[in-house]
């Protein structure tokens, strides 16, 4: 099950339709100007038309792992059979998930 994060993509029509990822509230303000569009072809201007970023499931496990210190993560990785040599904290968290 995916979760709507409130983050949407809008497009800058003065910059060849370059995408901008921003919060839905900010996108509402941007879309009041003709420079911005909710679609890459420039035909849609309402916030409801903006493509939403789905974050996927969130069990909270990633947040728990990120709160752990590096040595604790290394111990968990060793216990799980993951070679953690040279891995950064973010890489350890991804490997443990």
Same domain, 43 and 14: yes
What's the rounded Cα separation, in Å, for the pair 77 and 96? 7
Asked if 48 and 93 count as a contact pair (C-beta separation under 8 A), the reply is: no
Assess whether pLDDT exceeds 60 at residue 1.
no
Same domain, 45 and 70: no
| This prediction's pTM | 0.49
Confidence of residue 31 (pLDDT cuts 50, 70, 90): confident
Same domain, 37 and 8: yes
Among candidates 70, 52, 59, which has minimal Cα distance to 97?
59
Show the domain range for 84: 61-96
């Amino acid at each position: 099950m995916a979760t709507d994060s409130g983050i949407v993509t809008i497009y800058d029509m003065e910059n060849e339709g370059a995408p901008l990822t921003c919060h839905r509230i900010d996108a509402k303000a941007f879309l009041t100007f003709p420079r911005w569009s909710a679609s890459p072809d420039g035909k849609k201007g309402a916030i409801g038309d903006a493509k939403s970023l789905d974050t996927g499931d969130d069990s909270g496990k990633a947040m728990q792992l990120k709160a752990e210190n590096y040595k604790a993560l290394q111990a968990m990785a060793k216990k799980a059979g993951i070679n953690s040599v040279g891995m950064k904290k973010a890489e350890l968290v991804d490997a443990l998930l």
